[in-house]
Structure 1
Amino acid sequence: MRTGAHYLGNGECEFTVWSPTLNSVAVQILTPQQQVIPLKPQAEGYWQTKVNDVYPGTLYRYVLDGENAFADPVSQYQPEGVHGPSQVIDHQFEWTDDEWTGVPLESMIFYELHVGTFTPEGTFTAIIPRLADLKELGINAIEIMPIAQFPGDTHIEPSLAYRNWGYDGVYPFAVQNSYGTPADLKQLVNACHQHGIAVVLDVVYNHFGPEGNYMGQFAPYFTKTYKTPWGNAMNFDDAHSQGVRHYFIQNALYWLGDFHIDALRLDAIQAIYDLGAKHFLWELAEAVHNFSQDGGRKRYLIAESDLNNPQIVRPPELGGYGLDAQWSDDFHHALHALLTGDRQGYYQDFGQCAQLAKAYEDTFVYDWKYAPHRKRFHGISCRDRPPSQFSVCIQNHDQIGNQMKGDRLWNRVSFEGLKLAAGAVLLSPNLPLLFMGEEYGETAPFMYFVSHSDPDLIQAVRAGRKQEFEAFHYDEDPPDPESAETFLRCKLNWQLRNEGQHKVLLDWYRQLIDWRKAHPALLKQDRNCIQATSDEDKQLVIVRRWSESSEVIFALNFNQSPVKVTLPIQRHAYKRLDSADTSWAGPGSQAPEDLSVGQELQLQPTSLVLYELEP
């Protein structure tokens, strides 16, 4: 049964809510005139009624058991924030993307962005003028961090009242009011499709935020059987769990259908606990697959997971859940450790060139190997799945924002290191993800920020953030997550993309993406067509990739000194990319333009060089 308030036209609206343990539910219409209309009980714990003289823009709440009133769990808009009433929405929109067929998953180049800090305005529509720049770069999929309504501090300037990464959302169907209206989001998606760019939306199905979370008043959305970092787990396998499962499946189809979203990124699926015979993720994937078939266009599910478990993306007939792709942290950790020298936290499990080489070939570095940081064996092999089912990066919101000061790679490594990192990611056989501003070396940090109205919760967040970094023995406290200044410092400096080294880096990213999209060897995403070797003494990783008609070989030098090496080629080769070239603001290349079999070449410190073998 479809829950929520659905405007049927001609002033008629249908209200449906799931509350299997309540004795009565009524809808309280607040505007233009207050009235209370009881809902009629339906099968399986649902309540429903139709009301006349209700038009788009009407504010309403549900009165539970004749006592307290709360916003709709399936609210599609919260104009007054998480503690205010819900608003009836008319989803009619003039779409112009009828010819849009989508971007194949294996071709996607993701660009993760946070709506509030991507532009000075921090809105959906403000993103649209920048789509042409992203398209020129070669981006064909933007990945939007969560937009479900989150809390705000309404006692300050309205433009700064709402500050959050999005993972504290409490109304999964309601677009964040400070970002715009549902129609504004549709306008953004429509514009993306006009530019040939797919839209991936980050959704959170493992928890609700701590403020404005009234879900437990309506139904048993939570279970005490499992604990998550946020408290009691979502109820996917306990009593009444069928309503919870239906709630989130309806949410997924809502974004894919009403908003024409192309794919969903599922946050931290390791915190979705379900020991039932049919895991919630399997049921979700099945529903999205059927929706895609009915709609004539493939939609995708991409999981964030730190489990290193390919069961997530295996098809059901092979015992999997049938999701389309998943994030792989091992590539990031291996590359980051080599570039920065970090060995704290989970980086203590990384730092060897052989691990990056393994990530190129096998995706998972830890495939049932002992992980010292975890103090246990971790992961299992995923070699039966193609590399195009795994997304990799060198920067994303977590890896930047979970550092104490939210420093980007620009502030951590040399300019040569930035170019090396870009090449390592974009020349991989996996699906590359860029974090907003990475392509031109954004200098603004991306710190953790929130905007709560509860003083006790604010203090708890501050204390928790401070405690998180005590083990690192820093001389100063982390930036105040509740401060508006922390949020403002994270706004992008878009003009940097036209200046000095920033412009050079942008051109380097564009060149790499052009190569990725055009060269047959780089288009071949087959585990049997890639070979990676390493040399720990020289701090070197060498990768061969080939197809039926072509072959490339590239060397990644993580050494701070020049390195001499003989590449394992069987035919004459021609240099196509060299990050050390002066044309890329490098120190000057020592690698020859033409390379013969057995010929030694010298690699500049912290550099990448790519050769194409003659046919």
Structure 2
Amino acid sequence: MVASQQHITASTPMGATLINGGATFRVWAPAAEHVYVAFNGAKGYDPEPQDELVENPETGHWTGFFPDVVDGAKYRFYIIGKKGRHGRDGHGNERDGEGLKRDPWARELEFGWPDVESLDWPDVDCIVREANDYPWHDEGYCPPAFNDLVVYQLHFGVFYARDMHGNDIRKGRVAKILDAIDRLEYLADLGVNAIQPLPFVEFGGEWGLGYSGVDLFSPEMDYCVKAADLAPYLVKVNKMLVSKGCAPLPKKLLIGQVNQVKAFVDLCHLYGLAVITDVVYNHAGGNLDLQSLDYFDFPENPNGGNSLYFTDQGWAGGKVFAYWKSDVRDFLIQNATMFLIDFHMDGIRFDEVGVIDDKGGWQFCQDLTQTLCFLKPEAVLIAEYWRDHRWLGVWSPPAGMGFHIGYSDLIRDGVREMIAEAAGGGSASVNMGRLKGALECPWNFPAAWQAYNCIENHDFVLDMDGDHRKPRIPKLADWNDPRSWYARSRTRVAMGTLLTAPGVPMLFMGQEFLEDKLWSDNPHATDLFLWWEGLEEKDRHMSDHHRFTRDLIWLRRKQPALRSEPINVFHVDEQNRIVAFHRWVPGIGRDVVVVVSLREQSFYDRSYRLGFPLPGHWHEVFNSDIYDCFFNNGAVGNPGGLDANCSGMHGMPCSGGINIPANGILVFARSPGD
């Protein structure tokens, strides 16, 4: 007696789906001879006829309906295929050609529900979850326009965690997704309007960067909270909900990884923050264990080319997906869809898209972007695509892949090289002209806002196994003393350039408050933790830099020209290390002029004459020198602004005399701002 086919149709979803007093199951295993659903704890399971699914030989899909399956039910698949590939049975024994497999589509993995210890991963069950039981509160939220984005990248595992008494509890412990809610008000106040966590799907081990995912539909259990430990988190979640005029959650709706992720996204939206998840579709693993999707259906004569989901090619220690298979493409596209639709996320960052392209995934990328744009056109799709023809990532199909935004290294490399040269001292040669090319729209990009810009990110400033990749900007600015005036002022110039340039800026966690250490995903590397205490009370320069960054982000949000397309780098003064550029809104105006200086002496008495695009009064709306030991009463600037006359200069029709602070950035605008 095999499983009932009641409620099974051609559109039955993959995985486990609660429906009409039970659940349907659907799994792809074309080489398998038998597929069973092992319920209620697969340890000790032996295949039973009533648990067997029914195969559709045309699709290789196995299906069945089981009554009385409820939310929280545990299951795994037991698959019998051909001999030649070892599996592990319900008694822990290795078997040739058969064994337990976790559902590749499982929305959640066993984590000791409700208050018992979990089995050791990877020997864990999947959890059946109700898809729509979380009571969302974000119906009024509207994500930012793509060109308005200011993104903050963070890693859940080491970002922030404090107990109810304010004590840092990150040491030796992976921080949780719900720990990060304590920083949402801080991030909203900073002015960023989107956060981009590193990947948080299930991977092998307790901690990691997240780029070696194994169970792509399941949130990483070590980033989530057991039911027995939920009490203080429930208090915090409900306090935040109530402060926004929302009803509190009962505990049962915060149990489980799925609802904890949903609660996080929900709160982000209530605080005006979009969530851009980070996914890895260029490979899966490292740790592709015996119960994973690797060789899922136990094929005959297993080899690198018949592992169902994968090719015989490797990348980053894992296996590359077989993009030519329709079921694999659907698996990945539905995974992205889950984040955007089920989890209400506002965009996706796609890791190393160039690898997907190299391994035969061009058509997959087009299918992916076209599907997601149809389902949720307001969701931003960001491609990390480093190939020579980078514009192909953001061109629309059929000529391109169809992502909205693509990584650019022009500002990153231009600014970092400029700061490194300036660190050579006042007499060093600094190629300011490099900045002119860096600020312009990347070659062949349809629009400047499609460039994704950063000067620090998780790759660049990562300390992994002693592999020091690139220094944080304060160390780059002054290796001997990252708190010196030289380091502080040059770091302000770097941040100021990023936040006044065209494109979408991304900040990496800690960058906003002058963090100078490399970072690590290892919770035992406590010397590399973000130093929140320095920002809060122990380091004035950190709080000054945070204020500088905050005010400049809000200036970007108040001055539409800084989020617009056009730029004219009209002045490059190599001798004095000064660059000036003009930003404006086409057809409207709202003109802005930005002055960047890496000169180690100030210009006083309005002795530096600079071209301006329009005559009349210009407000000095931002001066970085004010933030050095804030409020710097000795700041060099132009209080009251200036009046440009009709004497042309630097290719502009007008000009005026200005003061320029040493290692400073100034912003002049026709309007004080929105």
TM-score, normalised to structure 1's length? 0.80
Match of 1:60 among 64, 75, 80: 75
Deviations 1:575-595 (A, max 9, x none): 222212356466944444444
Assess, with a 3 A threshold, how the Cα gap between structure 1 residues 306 and 584 changes in structure 2: closer, same or farther: farther
Match of 2:511 among 438, 444, 447: 438
> Partner residue of 1:217?
295
Question: For the residues of structure 2 that align with 1:189 and 1:140, how far apart are their CA atoms?
Answer: 13
Q: Distance in 2 between matches of 1:230 and 1:542?
A: 46
Does 1:39 pair with 2:53? yes
CA drift of 1:405 comes to 7.4
State whether structure 2 residue 151 is matched by structure 1 residue 105. no
Deviates more, 1:405-414 or 1:92-101: 405-414
3-state DSSP of counterpart to 1:400: coil
Which shows bigger deviation, 265-274 or 404-413? 404-413
The question of whether the paired residues in 2 share the 8 Å contact of 1:18 and 1:47 is answered with yes
Query: Superposed, which structure 2 residues align to 1:386-425 within 5 Å?
Result: 386-401=447-462, 404=468, 407-413=471-477, 414-425=487-498
SS at match of 1:212: coil
C-alpha spacing 1:270/1:342, structure 2 compared with 1 (3 Å): farther
Give how far 1:125 is off: 1.5
Change (3 A) 1:227 1:485: closer
- 2:559 maps to a residue whose letter is H
Cα shift readout 1:18-58 (whole Å, capped 9, x = no counterpart):
12233322222243995642221124221122223333333
- Give CA-to-partner distance per residue, 1:51-78, whole Å, 9 cap, x none: 2333333332222226221211222222
Whole-Å Cα distance in 2 between the matches of residues 175 and 8 of structure 1?
A: 23
Match of 1:357 in 2: 436
Question: How far does the alpha carbon of each residue in 1:162-191 deviate from its partner, in whole angstroms, 9 at most, with x for none?
Answer: 221111211111101011111111000111
The C-alpha deviation readout for 1:239-277, integer Å capped at 9, x for no partner, is xx1111111001011111111111111011011036869
Task: Check if 1:206 corresponds to 2:270.
Answer: no
2:444 maps to which residue? Answer: 382
Aligned equivalents of 2:155, 2:361: Cα separation in 1? 37
Supply the distance in 2 between the matched residues of 1:116 and 1:227 (Cα, whole angstroms). Answer: 27
| Alpha-carbon distance between aligned partners in 2 of 1:540 and 1:108, rounded to the nearest angstrom | 28
Other-structure match for 1:470: none
Partner of residue 124, structure 2: 84
Q: Which runs of 5+ in 1 are unaligned?
A: 153-161, 344-349, 365-380, 450-483
Counterpart secondary structure, 1:311: helix
Partners in 1 of 2:630 and 2:596 — Cα distance?
A: 16
Partner of 2:414: 334
**2:577 matches 1:539:** yes
**1:142–1:532: structure 2 CA closer, same or farther, 3 Å change rule?**
farther
SS at match of 1:106: helix
Contact 1:82/1:150 (CA < 8 Å) preserved in 2? no
- In the TM superposition, residue 137 of structure 1 has moved relative to its aligned partner by 1.4
Amino acid at match of 1:228: W
Establish whether residue 126 from structure 1 lines up as the match of residue 176 from structure 2: no
- C-alpha distance 276-129 of structure 1, shift in aligned 2 (>3 A): closer
What's 2:395 paired with? Answer: 314
CA contact (8 A) 1:520 1:549 kept: no
**2-side partners of 1:56 and 1:34: how far apart?**
21
CA distance in 2, matches of 1:95, 1:418: 40
Q: 1:169 to 1:357 in 2, by over 3 A?
A: same
Cα 1:433–1:9, aligned 2, differ >3 Å: closer, same or farther? farther
- Work out whether residues 589 and 603 of structure 1, in 8 Å CA contact, stay in contact via their aligned partners in 2: no
Q: Which residue of 1 aligns with 2:315?
A: 228
Distance 2:568 2:394 in 1: 21
Q: RMSD of aligned C-alpha atoms?
A: 2.8
SS at match of 1:200: strand
Cα deviation, residue 7, structure 1: 2.6
Give 1:83 shift. 4.1
Q: Secondary structure at the match of 2:461?
A: helix
SS, match of residue 340 in structure 2:
helix
Aligned to 2:17: 6
Q: TM-score, normalised by structure 2?
A: 0.74
How many residues are aligned here? 535
1:437 and 1:275 mapped to 2: Cα distance?
A: 35
Following the alignment from structure 1 to structure 2, what is the Cα–Cα distance between the partners of residues 507 and 245? 46
Give the match's secondary structure for 2:140: coil
Which AA in structure 2 matches 1:493? W
Q: 1:23 aligns with which of 19, 29, 33?
A: 33
Matched residue, 2:625: 580
Q: 2:611 aligns with which of 568, 587, 600?
A: 568
Deviation at 1:278, TM superposition (A): 6.2
Q: What percent of counterpart residues are identical?
A: 25
| Structure 1 pair 284–554 and aligned structure 2 pair: CA distance change class (3 A) | same
Change (3 A) 1:614 1:405: closer
Q: For the residues of structure 1 that align with 2:155 and 2:590, how far apart are their CA atoms?
A: 39
Does the CA-based 8 Å contact 1:282-1:316 persist in structure 2? yes
Contact 2:561 2:591 (8 Å CA) reproduced:
yes
User: Aligned AA for 1:200?
Assistant: I
Give distance in 2, aligned partners of 1:70 and 1:520: 53
1:251-330 matches, cutoff 5 A = 251-273=335-357, 279-292=363-376, 298-307=378-387, 309-316=390-397, 319-330=399-410
Match of 1:48 in 2: 63
Write the distance in 2 (CA, Å) between the matches of 1:501 and 1:15.
57
Q: Is the 8 A contact 1:416 1:586 kept in 2?
A: no
Distance between the aligned counterparts of 1:274 and 1:609, measured in 2?
44
Amino acid at match of 1:14: T
Matching residue of 1:526:
565
